[in-house]
Amino acid sequence: MEMIIFTRVKKIYILIFLILLLCPLKNVYAETYIDEAIKRFYDADFDMAISVIEKSVQQEENIETKYVAYAYLALVYYITGSVDRADDAIIKLIKTDPDVELEHIEMLKPGFLEDATEEFKKHFKLIKSSTDVAVPTGEITGIFPVYEQGETVGYTISANDNKLLKKIIFEVKDSSVKETWDISGQSATQKSYFITKDWEPGDYKYSFLIQDMAGNKNEYSGSFQLKGTQPDIPIQPADAAFDSIVAQLKSLGKRNTADFIQVWTNKKKLRIGEHVYYYFQSKKDCYLILLNLTAGKELIQVFPNKYNPDSFLKAGKKYSVPDPEITLVLKVTGPGGTDNLIALVSETPLNLLDADFKNQAFFELDRNNQELLNKVSKNIQKAENMDIVQKQVQYLIQ
């Protein structure tokens, strides 16, 4: 009996000894550079406290430890009178988590609020309320998924920020294309282009970075494929090629109706020899190509034209062709039948007919120009990847 009791007592003593032995070891291994910095802080060795934190915080992967590190770094700087550096540490803390409060630091490191002075607590709230941590946003439009070697790539970048924008940087990897724009305001739009002449076929990655005045950044990326020059398309009979293009144009954007734009003529029924006026008005900013497929099977680009070369429409503005400010009259020539107006609308500029106004005020697609027909067909195929809406309007020629 005594032997059994002695054995149990011996086991209890051994257990107590192991607990006492392991507890200090646990504390030693749990101690971090934060604990060391706090000890230096309590010893008023502020320079060493700062050095310990700054040496390790940049490599810190644990987000909660990083919160505590920046909080104590800001506190030590503030107490020692380095307010600007304290502000930098506070801003880094806020950028790590815009919703962070000092109470969160207390939960992670009990005793922090007791260490922090009332002046520091007020200063933290002041800096947090005035610090811009919202990243700017933006988008890029106009870049197609596929191009042929030598083609021009046009694009539009839009940027927005809650306060003030500073810069946009666009570049294409493995090329010489890089553009930087210094901008201002809460929103900005930049348009540009580059030519792929002499580029090697392959996949190209592009990116654009938006930065605001507070140093917040946002980066976007995309890619496009550059194909080698394709052999010429086998020549079709002129009428067949022309009819094919008309069919392509009629189907372009047909699934989406342009309800926000109105297109009309001065009369729904016109006699040969009468004056004709084309009107259009959009509820929002957009780009328009207005085509007229006549009863005589001609395809004429009404807008843009020699007198109105810009396809951009301003929201709410009424446009007229011919423009009332110029001395130009359009007369109905016939033949009789139904003319069909095709309005193609997009958020970025369209290039479909390769319209040239040097020799004609209103570009007419030549059904006998096979090279041009092939080029227009390619343009339409590319446009099929764009966000295009369509509206058709008919009027009668008597």
Q: What is the domain class of 137-227 according to CATH?
A: mainly beta
The values of phi and psi at residue 179, to 5°, are -130, 140
CA distance 189 to 206: 18
* Residue 28 pLDDT exceeds 50: no
Fold: same for 23-130 and 238-397:
no
Q: Is this structure's pTM higher than 0.75?
A: no
Mean pLDDT of the chain: 86
What's the mean pLDDT in 282-309? Answer: 92
Over the stretch 46-66, which tens digit does the pLDDT of each residue have? 999 999 999 888 888 899 999
- Strand-pair partners of 268: none
CA distance 10 to 7: 5
**What is the pLDDT confidence band of residue 31, given thresholds at 50, 70 and 90?**
low
* Residue 322 pLDDT exceeds 80: yes
Element containing residue 374 per DSSP (H, E): helix 370-383
From 14-18, 178-182, 226-230, 374-378, the region with the lowest mean pLDDT? 14-18
From 47-51, 76-80, 122-126, 129-133, the region with the lowest mean pLDDT? 129-133
**278-290: string of b/e by CB count within 10 Å (b at 16+)?**
bebbbeeebbbbb
From 153-157, 234-238, 356-360, the region with the lowest mean pLDDT? 234-238
**What is the pLDDT confidence band of residue 39, given thresholds at 50, 70 and 90?**
very high
* Residue 25 pLDDT exceeds 60: no
* pLDDT score recorded for residue 289: 93
Contact call for residues 221 and 147 (beta carbons, < 8 A): no
What's the mean pLDDT in 284-297? Answer: 92
| Residue 353, CA distances (Å) to 115, 147, 208 in order | 73, 18, 31
Sequence-separated (6 or more) residues with CB below 8 Å from residue 262: 279, 280, 281, 282
* pLDDT score recorded for residue 239: 56
Domain borders along the chain are: 23-130, 137-227, 238-397
CA distance 302 to 297: 15
* Residue 29 pLDDT exceeds 80: no
CATH number at 23-130: 1.25.40
Environment class of 47 (CB within 10 Å of its CB; exposed 0-12, middle 13-18, buried 19+): exposed
Over the stretch 186-211, which tens digit does the pLDDT of each residue have? 999 999 999 998 999 999 999 999 99
**Pairing, β 217-227 against β 202-212:** antiparallel
* pLDDT score recorded for residue 374: 85
Contact call for residues 341 and 396 (beta carbons, < 8 A): no
* pLDDT score recorded for residue 4: 45
What's the mean pLDDT in 156-174? Answer: 95
Q: What is the domain class of 238-397 according to CATH?
A: mainly beta
* Residue 24 pLDDT exceeds 50: no
> Cα angle at 169 between 167 and 174, to 5 degrees?
170
Residue with tokens 């709410």: 316
